[in-house]
Structure 1
Amino acid sequence: MHARDVVASIELAVYIPAAITAVIICAQHGFNRSSGWIYTLILCIVRIAGAVCQFLSRQDHSNGLIEAKIIIDSIGLSPLLLATLGLLSRFVDFINAKASSTFTTKHFRLLQLLITVGLILSIAGGTSGTVQPDGTVTIATTTKAGIGLYIVAYVGIVIVYLCSVPRTSVITNQERRVPVAIILALPFVLVRLIYAACSVFLHSHLFNIVTGNVALRVAMAVIEEFVVVAIYIALGFLVTKLDANARGPIAGREWKNKRTKGERRPRRHSMGALEQQRM
């Protein structure tokens, strides 16, 4: 088998059971978009689709299938970042329930917007890029812009985390597992992001999305995603479910709720009440 087919086989062996497990965790914690686990599930599905495309490309060498592989490879970063952002929102909500609010829904909305726009640009770039007969890929400017937004969003996530982690002592012992999982995952997300940046900004055959070095891709992308998915799935079994009325304003996505004209939305104190019950 071709080396890329071997990698695709391993991805299927890992992500199919991971997707099933992620469904179980989402059923426990909820399929709401503020949950980091729903994006973990999406990442598993995206990687399964990518592996299937790899096998199909053995018989179909059309540009359309190659474009699909490029798009799938680039959009995998968005659920990885959104999963981290979702778990970070849960962490910050618990802090805000016991201490002054440094970060609010506006900060998380901005980070989510950066990732979402990056996703859109990556998809647009994947459809507008060109592939030469020798496998050389011309990366579209929109793809580069999308990766740039991913980098900015990652920096923002790190800043929010570093500013929030000194106040970890105000949250319950069980919830302290969330920042531990995030700090374990962030270095792997960074390496994955570096690989993506090298793929679009460096004109090197080693990082070519179609014909690049397989060992390098495994070392800087495949393994990193495996580890992050494993960390987040394990975390899903280690923390308790938060009911809808127990989520804070960030994780509860109050900023997504539409106000009825002439009505004011009451301020939620659910996180504070939850903390008092646990104390």
Structure 2
Amino acid sequence: MVLGPQGYVSIVELIVYIPALVTAIIVTSRHGFHRASGWIYTVILCVVRIAGAICQLLSYTDHSDGLLKATLIIDSIGLSPLLLATLGVLSRFADFVNAKGTQIFGMKQFRLVQLLITLGLILSIAGGSDGSTDSDGNVTISGTSKAAIILLIVGFAGITYFFLLSSGYKTAAPRQERHSLVAVGIAWPLILVRLAYSALAIFVHNHTFSVVGGSVAVHAGMAVVEEFLVVLDYLILGFMLHKLEPEEQGELANRAWKNKKRTGNDRR
């Protein structure tokens, strides 16, 4: 089996994401596996990228449509975990500010952005399943994939609004918690570049940005590197922040709406 450039990128992904997965599990265990904490999404992204690298390597010996679809689906869902992890980090910071009596963004706003990103994830998976290639290897992008990236763009805009709003209340949070804004500030341009790559791959009919058979250098420079740097950024943050005890968690971090639903079910 002779590996192409993308094959070598996949090997590098395995080398970096396998230890990153172990680290992500340690960090997530420390802060809790509930989705509002954000770090669970670093685990998900590591798993997704390991699976994607394996599928890519298998494609050198297996040219089936099923494996191609799996590759398309896995590549398309990398953005959502990055956005949801960022939203989780910002929600933690917002809870500390809200506890001081100033509500910078509330549960309804948080849930709306979370819902948009989750729907984008679902549509990305569905769009990857609907994707196909012609005899020349060109990928046909489905309308579902286009709807998915639009939702993710709107979700990113919402996160940007939360970030800018939170930055104005930096001194209202404990000193240690201010690291969250620094981490998001580092991740924001990286996620923007990753989002731009996905948008170009879907809306611009240019072979350079094609998921299958496109420029490996562009893909690595605008997607692979950015994803890993964001994961690394949030894992470092996870070690810097202390674990929140239940009484320290605000309404966003402890998912109060879920608790209300469970209480209602218990009463019934």
Instruction: Tell me the TM-score normalised to structure 2 length.
Output: 0.96
Partner of 1:114: 116
Partner of 1:181: 183
Which structure 2 residues correspond to residues 241-252 of structure 1 after superposition, within 5 A?
Answer: 241-252=243-254
Partner of 2:43: 41
3-state SS of the aligned residue for 1:248? coil
Residue among 169, 193, 196 paired with 2:195: 193
Residue among 152, 155, 161 paired with 1:153: 155
Q: Does 1:94 align with 2:96?
A: yes
Q: Give the whole-Å Cα distance in 2 for the aligned partners of 1:208 and 1:115.
A: 23
Q: Does 1:32 align with 2:34?
A: yes
Deviations 1:67-112 (A, max 9, x none): 1111101111111110000101001111101132131010110011
Q: Give the whole-Å Cα distance in 1 for the aligned partners of 2:192 and 2:53.
A: 23
Q: Give the whole-Å Cα distance in 2 for the aligned partners of 1:251 and 1:71.
A: 30
Partner of 1:64: 66
Taking a change above 3 Å as real, the CA distance of residues 207 and 255 of structure 1, as seen in their structure-2 partners, is same
Residue 261 of structure 1: CA displacement? Answer: 4.6
Aligned length: 264
Taking a change above 3 Å as real, the CA distance of residues 69 and 254 of structure 1, as seen in their structure-2 partners, is same
Partner of 1:224: 226
Q: Give the whole-Å Cα distance in 2 for the aligned partners of 1:99 and 1:158.
A: 22
Residue 137 of structure 1: CA displacement? Answer: 0.4
Residue 133 of structure 1: CA displacement? Answer: 2.3
3-state SS of the aligned residue for 1:94? helix
Taking a change above 3 Å as real, the CA distance of residues 259 and 55 of structure 1, as seen in their structure-2 partners, is closer
Partner of 2:131: 129
Deviations 1:207-232 (A, max 9, x none): 11100000001110011011101100
Taking a change above 3 Å as real, the CA distance of residues 13 and 261 of structure 1, as seen in their structure-2 partners, is closer
Partner of 1:85: 87
Q: Give the whole-Å Cα distance in 2 for the aligned partners of 1:240 and 1:261.
A: 32
Residue 262 of structure 1: CA displacement? Answer: 11
Does the 8 Å CA contact 1:99/1:170 hold for their aligned counterparts? Answer: no
Q: Give the whole-Å Cα distance in 1 for the aligned partners of 2:237 and 2:154.
A: 26
Q: Give the whole-Å Cα distance in 2 for the aligned partners of 1:261 and 1:208.
A: 48
Partner of 1:141: 143
Q: Give the whole-Å Cα distance in 1 for the aligned partners of 2:184 and 2:115.
A: 20
Taking a change above 3 Å as real, the CA distance of residues 259 and 19 of structure 1, as seen in their structure-2 partners, is closer
Runs of 4 or more consecutive aligned structure 1 residues displaced over 6 Å after TM superposition? none
Deviations 1:42-63 (A, max 9, x none): 0000000000000110111111
Does the 8 Å CA contact 2:97/2:104 hold for their aligned counterparts? Answer: no
Partner of 2:255: 253
Does the 8 Å CA contact 2:72/2:131 hold for their aligned counterparts? Answer: no
Amino acid at match of 1:16: I
Gaps of 5+ in 1: 265-279
Q: Give the whole-Å Cα distance in 2 for the aligned partners of 1:156 and 1:86.
A: 13
Does the 8 Å CA contact 1:95/1:167 hold for their aligned counterparts? Answer: yes
3-state SS of the aligned residue for 2:33? coil
Gaps of 5+ in 2: none
Residue 244 of structure 1: CA displacement? Answer: 2.4
Residue 263 of structure 1: CA displacement? Answer: 9.9
Amino acid at match of 2:220: V
